[in-house]
Structure 1
């Protein structure tokens, strides 16, 4: 297939996104990291995340048919691959809510805790961890109610806190995250296969690190709550103040001999997209896979870079595509009285900020989408921006700034028929952004 960025910029950008997703699909990346079955004990598979269903399906297909295999993995509603849903394998896959936990996720986490108990040193635990596991694997610390966990989670999501900050708090209010799952599995050997969705690829941050020791402290969690003005129930504050909610730390003997393998990362996906662009004669530049900050502000910065390339050929020559990843944030401000809450996620808010800052710059086309296929809680992965985006919106009487003010980017791009809808991709290496300067 020949991709022509001049004739079909939208198709070109979508192909880059598809290449990034393909690079991170569990069936394509799992085999090199699987350990051999234990000679004496059993193999138990535990896990959580948006890629959990696909990871379970990959392990089940690759594991020897004559080797015992069982376990439980929890994933987001609608994120079980159709083939595995139609013909379930040896690993039980259940679905729960994301980004705010629900009762199904709590029950799944409780079942995982029960499965982890009573293992021997002869047993092998394969932990399949991917982004989204923080919400999907939700079990309150002793003394907290599930409603407490839900309320803190909602407040964190709306606060503008970075993912490592949110997960620091989540770990310390959990009975299973922050290394506690691996501690429960002792003395069994634990091998973690992780798909990274976080800047820096720190396994302790991915899904709040249920199988790795945690270097953060209760004091760190309290500081984050204070920084963002988040009030927590009295039982949560008491547990943090007293240190009762402290997590297992590096050097804990229960982690001895454990292995962690990153089987897919954001950088690898960006490099796959860049390679595809270069094969079709377009220079590709990967800015970073660790970009954070307010989505709209990150959009403005990307727009400034694209304008410099389009107008002056600096710092890159045209034609080129500029790629970036990471995890931006949206600090949600309350809607005005009588105004319904806006719809949208990080990708579309990035794009709306970018479109406004581009001012219809000729030759610049942009796609931003979440690699799990879901931007926030909507049905789209992201959207696209073209040089005529603002003009088409104005013709419909739509003011881009008004939509941005009320965090309603989804509605803006839906009205223009510019949403990118993929459905669940069964993986998750976080934000994908591509700016084509033709």
Structure 2
């Protein structure tokens, strides 16, 4: 097996400051993709060139459908399990190795690579603008001079790379219903069904640095099931610079029938109804202020990561078929070889968090975090996160359809995004900021 190691690209060390010069920015859409990935494939041919991604729906797609799998007819190239993982050592994250070693029946099915990530042209245009105008502020806890597109498509450090994930394009608004579950070590779980709305601000059409205020998005959920929790709801107003102005969150408790402002819903605060498995900052693989960690860009490498995960997204798949004791059903997951940026976050002295170190693997074509290795304060690998993405080609937008957090010590895991038996995402829902206030939350609960 060829040793890839970490491949620091020339663009990684171009300049100490965030902005790049016009000559470097001109590479976007040329030898680099519009969002900063390498357009060319790799030397061995296992990674093809990027040709625009899946920017239009296939012929059999109808609005409102669960997205048909454009690669459904493909067979795995090979399968990795605990017996042969040594052959693929350089291509696997420590978290994947640990999961394979812990479960003899677990496996990674590796398929041909398709670079399907795509975004609207206006996002590509905005990214080009951001490359020569954007910069970090407030010690890296905020950004300025950017809007709509990826802020730092040719990153110089780990903070720039993680901001690319936080500010990547995810549509303008979404209404959707999904389920989440904490699967215990005996395989038992209870589903929590949530009806959700997101109104994105940063990536909206027409957004410019001049009219962008300190708001990233608005988020709301309402518990639909089980019946004993139905009606409870949450609203979040997400800020760009959360050190300057912390995110605001309110929760409507069905039992109390009143709205309460949450004093803190960030960092290591445990999310409600996750059985203690999910902190606030693991949503979307990482979110919120980066100020409690030191961020290091380790470079880029080729790895086997979740990608084009349409099989686990298909309509009608029973949730009990997805949620197995110890892990998500590997027969519904897909892995491909892609180039990823590797970013390591180390907890600063004076702060506490269950994860003293995290290693993030970011897709070069979309800036979506695909996997995260989680380490405790003793330096032990304690868990792993995965994001299983698809191209929502009707937008177009590349994002996760299912997120998982594995707790290796407790032999349990948490999964969010189960949508197989729910209506498909509505990316044109009639939403506005007025729908994300404490008053709106009170109406949701009544």
Query: What interval of TM-score do these two structures reach, taking the shorter chain for normalisation?
Result: under 0.3
> As a proportion of its length, which structure holds more strand?
2
More helix by share: 1
Higher relative contact order (CA 8 A, sep 6+): 2
Q: Which has the larger radius of gyration?
A: 1
